[in-house]
Structure 1
Amino acid sequence: MKFTRRANANWKGTGMEGKGTISTQSTTLDNAQLSFKTRFEEGVGTNPEELIAAAHSGCFTMQLSFLLSEAGFVPEDLNTEAKVTFEDGTITLIQLILNGKVPGITEEDFQKAAQKAKEICPISKLLNTEITLSVTLA
């Protein structure tokens, strides 16, 4: 399977005082605000690191769902938080924090599936940083 997805960013002004928007093909983001404040402080809008966290948590969780299904398990609930650490101009760490409820699976098998999902998720493979994973099975 091959496909292409697209997004668009627009920026006007300097890095500190300027403002921008970002939109996605699906229009889930439609001229969402970008600014120095939304990236480095707090404010209404989004930022690249938050979007990476969203992409990584979504990709990892879907990948894990596929792996569990292939092994004969039906996940009742998989919830992954991704924390992206930005330090001195570099993303230095992504922490994946998984909480799952999968009837019939052992703790060991769940851990193994989660580790494999972390390794083969396309977003994990794309990122050039340390990625950690903590797993809790209910």
Structure 2
Amino acid sequence: MGISRHATAHWEGDLKNGQGRLSTPQSGLLDNTRYGFNSRFGEEKGTNPEELIAAAHAGCFTMALSAKLTEAGHPPASLDTRAEVDLSMEGGPSLSQIRLKVKAQVPGIDAAKFQAIAEDAKANCPVSKALAAVPVSLEAVLA
């Protein structure tokens, strides 16, 4: 049996003038967090689905990279990942690209081996697999 997590969304009103709330009842981290048209397509305070996908992908990839580096005998001192999720409006809203950018401090590893392990983590973390329809690029740099 696997692990199951969940989140909830509540929405009131039409798309442009309505507003919603997101919650993660298990952790309580998101507790009626606001989201809406202007926080997704504009600059209004609140979250949006793309930001949450970026957070999930950055977290998943970073954990996978840590595991794979450790398995290869090079536990990381630190990993800092930024995930950028692009929402294209061409032909209707769709995720068009994800860019993963990681800066790493990994003692005793050369750049080529680090790059290969990072590419493997990108391809095989569960969130990357779930988002396989979206092109994902990787910039992996040893500090």
TM norm structure 1: 0.98
Per-residue CA deviation, residues 47-75 of structure 1 (Å, 9 max, x unaligned), is 00000000000000000000011111121
Distance 2:58 2:48 in 1: 16
Residue of structure 2 equivalent to 1:76: 77
Aligned residues: 138
Residue of structure 2 equivalent to 1:58: 59
SS class of match (1:73):
coil
TM norm structure 2: 0.94
Spell out the pairing of 1:21-100 with structure 2 (5 A cutoff).
21-24=21-24, 25-88=26-89, 89-100=93-104
Distance 2:65 2:86 in 1: 23
Which consecutive unaligned segments of at least 5 residues does structure 2 have? none
SS class of match (1:115):
helix
SS class of match (1:98):
strand
Residue of structure 2 equivalent to 1:136: 141
Per-residue deviation at 1:135?
Answer: 1.0
Structure 1 runs (4+) deviating above 2 angstroms are: none
Q: CA RMSD in A?
A: 0.8
Per-residue deviation at 1:4?
Answer: 0.3
Distance 2:44 2:97 in 1: 23
SS class of match (1:97):
strand
SS class of match (2:117):
helix
1:114 to 100, 118, 126: 118
SS class of match (1:91):
strand
Letter in 2 for 1:58: G
Per-residue deviation at 1:45?
Answer: 1.1
Distance 1:97 1:76 in 2: 17
Distance 2:42 2:85 in 1: 15
SS class of match (1:33):
strand
